[in-house]
A and B are shown apart, each in its own frame.
Chain A
Amino acid sequence: MAYVAGIVFTAITIIAFFVFFKKLGKIARNIHLGKPFQIKDQKGKRIQNVLLLAFGQKKMFRNPLVAILHLFVYVGFVIINIELLEIIIDGIAGTHRIFKPYLGSFYDFLINIFEVLAFLVLVACVVFFARRNMGRIKRFTDKDLAGWPKSDANAILIIEIVLMSLFLTMNAADAEANYLISSFLKPLLSNVNASTQSTIEHTAWWLHILGIYAFMNYLPYSKHLHIILAFPNAYYAPLIPKGQMHNMPSIQNEVLYAMQPELAPTNAAAPEKFGARDVMDLSWKNLMDAYSCTECGRCSAACPANITGKLLSPRKIMMDTRDRLEAVGKNIDTNKQFVDDGKSLLHDYISVEELRACTTCNACVEECPVSISPLDIILELRRSLVMEESNAPSEWNGMFSNIENNFAPWKFAPDDRDAWTNQ
């Protein structure tokens, strides 16, 4: 009987990890649909960013109270997972707390820490759940989250609460164990006989580990993927000043050849598409940003356009990018390669009105705890709008022609540029 359970457990474990990594592979492939964008410089600074922004959660501390609760969940998650190693070995080998004899009192010390963390995670998740659903914080009640995103967020919190409860129940029902937090639960089990208590322990053990496998496989479909991608995203975070836009060498060269035709190569290739119309036109970093987004909405809460009721929401830009990328990924899964579906990120997911409302103020970029730049995507889409579709408001067209003819965005005579010196 013991090894039937062991075999079943081993099979479930293999399947859970296989399905999980297969899905991660799909996500990696989707991210690679983006344009190449070399990031190889300043390794030291990048590692420092991973330590500060991802491990240290520096940006989260812009709101210290929330940051501390989030830190409980994060530290709890990382450290309690060490216990998973024992749980998996126990499951496969049919043992019970296999590390205990080897570690002695240090084992008890570890489990006590895990329990305290589990309790803190539980408390933090309950607070988060209440905070999210009380309807007092705009970024949680906003229309961006209507439907699935809101359920997704709640599902994650509920799963975490349930998993932590199971972990503590499992320890409480273990007759030989007596740990810091679960010992408070023991009185609840005082009336049940030993065999029922053992059944409770086994059931909690199984539900806990199955719940963890389910959670792991839910991750890649949920907004919660940031727990993995926050790390590479911090590493690849831009190190240039936020005000600097990416250069477009193709256009730089075109202007250069127009001005100095003698420099133009004879076999000059026709320039590619300008800006981004669809996800494949964005860089892989933009696409990784989309998968890293946990839809917290700090960006939109700081966005001047969003605050004043414009259609633009930087969070929605990221959610749309991910939704479109997932649709493109499914299209490739079905057709072996991307078959035009008559849709694009620009227009079908993100409207012109949204893009036009951006003041490029970088507030969204500044606020993002996981180094996402919604602004980068907005600006690439604007490039496509103006240069591929000549789609600009008439005032902008006026501004362009003023710059071209009068070297200033307004219609003043260039000869009057120094007129102020005579007044």
Chain B
Amino acid sequence: MKVSTMAEFMARGEKPEVLFWVGCAGSFDQRAQKITKAFATIMDKAGVQYAILGKEEACTGDPARRAGNEFMFQMMAYQNIQVLNGYEIKKIVTTCPHCFNTLKNEYPALGGHYDVIHHTTFLQELIEQGKIKFTDSNEWKGKSITYHDSCYLGRANEIYEAPRKVLESLDMELREMKRCKSKGLCCGAGGAQMFKEEEKGDKRINMERADEAIETKSDFVASACPFCNTMMTDGIKNRSEEVKTEVLDIAEIVAQAIQ
């Protein structure tokens, strides 16, 4: 698909409405790439003029900072802020709650001030503005789904409603897990856990959470974070003999129903 970079916009003497911060998972992870493409497709269809940084994008430094490596975080933040400020970026949308949290809450102290929005909030706005229209043969209608709250979207930034509203606008039947919203259970990936083996215990965190999702007997599990998506998919795969539930990002669900 054709996606313009900021450099290309600059060369044309234009500025996009919004910068799409893809994030490392969205760029490199094969599963997460599908989420990235789904979201890019939606923005195309909704007529949103957006750009990516392309090769100029780099890790926000979130996993390094949470692991305790502040030097690495500050290095990455410095470089990213140089690039973002160089392009005079005002508004950023991202499909990763970890990037979202870092760009929105942690870069301002370092000189990076942007209006940062998570893609679920962005999608909700586009739906409300009528820029996203669903097909008449909305295949999601009446399907049951349980939404897994991402910690960095939920508790960290108190975004609980936007993803749920998107699912409701598709007439899906939303089933809540035992632990949801501010009581939502982590998938086990945050705090740089994604990049190491879990400490020893009785059960893997993603298995605990997958079992909770399975308990709702929903047709689908919705996520809004590429790391949650990986963890939940792995967890449910471990129970594949008993259940067939697919984990999908909110963007993928919307992309399949968009006109």
CB within 8 Å of B: which residues of A? 62, 240-245, 247-248, 251-252, 254-256, 259, 274-275, 302, 304-305, 307-312, 353, 356-363, 365-366, 379, 382-387, 392-393, 395-396, 398-400, 403-404, 407-410, 412, 414-421, 423
Q: Mark B1-42, 1 if CB is under 8 A from A, else 0.
A: 111010000000000000000101011110001001100000
CB distance from B27 to the nearest CB of A (A): 5
Quick check: B24 and A359 within 8 Å, CB to CB? no
- Say which one of B105-113, B124-132, B166-174 lies at the interface with A: B105-113
Are B28 and A245 closer than 8 Å at their CB atoms?
no
Tell me if B199 is interfacial: C-beta within 8 Å of chain A: yes
Q: At the interface, yes or no: B123 with Cβ under 8 Å from chain A?
A: no
Of chain A, the residue at the smallest CB distance from B203 is: A308
Q: Are B186 and A304 in contact (CB under 8 A)?
A: yes
Q: List 12 A-B contacts (CB under 8 A).
A: A242-B156, A245-B65, A247-B106, A247-B109, A304-B188, A310-B201, A356-B199, A361-B190, A385-B68, A395-B196, A415-B55, A418-B52
Kindly identify, within residues 181 to 224 of chain B, every residue whose CB is under 8 Å from any CB belonging to chain A: 182-183, 185-186, 188-205, 207-209
Alpha-carbon distance between A420 and B196 when the two chains are bound, in angstroms: 26
Closest chain B CB from A302 CB (angstroms): 7
**Contacts of B68-108 to chain A: CB distance below 8 A:** 68-72, 74-76, 78, 101, 104-106
Neighbour of A403 across the interface among B59, B104, B198, CB < 8 A? B59
Q: Residues of B contacting A379 with CB < 8 Å?
A: 66, 68
Q: Is the CB of B101 within 8 A of A383?
A: no
A367 nearest in chain B by CB position? B183
Alpha-carbon separation in the docked complex, A416 to B208 (Å): 35
Q: How far is the CA of A259 from the CA of B81 in the complex (A)?
A: 13
Taking a contact as CB atoms under 8 Å apart, the answer to whether A387 and B78 are in contact is no
Query: Bound complex: CA of A252 vs CA of B107, how far in Å?
Result: 11
Min CB distance, A401 to chain B, in Å? 9
Q: Which residue of A lies closest to B101 (CB)?
A: A243
Q: Is A360 a contact of B27 with CB atoms below 8 Å?
A: no
Contacts A259-B78, A362-B156, A366-B155 given: A399-B186 contact, CB under 8 Å? Answer: no
Chain A residues lying within 8 Å of B27, measured Cβ to Cβ, are 408, 412, 416-420
Quick check: B190 and A418 within 8 Å, CB to CB? no
- Chain B residue at minimal CB-CB distance from A352: B199
Contact check: which of A62, A248, A310, A392 meets B199 at CB < 8 Å? A310
Across the interface, name the chain B residue whose C-beta is closest to A401: B72
A412-B28 contact given A241-B105, A241-B157, A243-B105, CB 8 Å threshold = yes
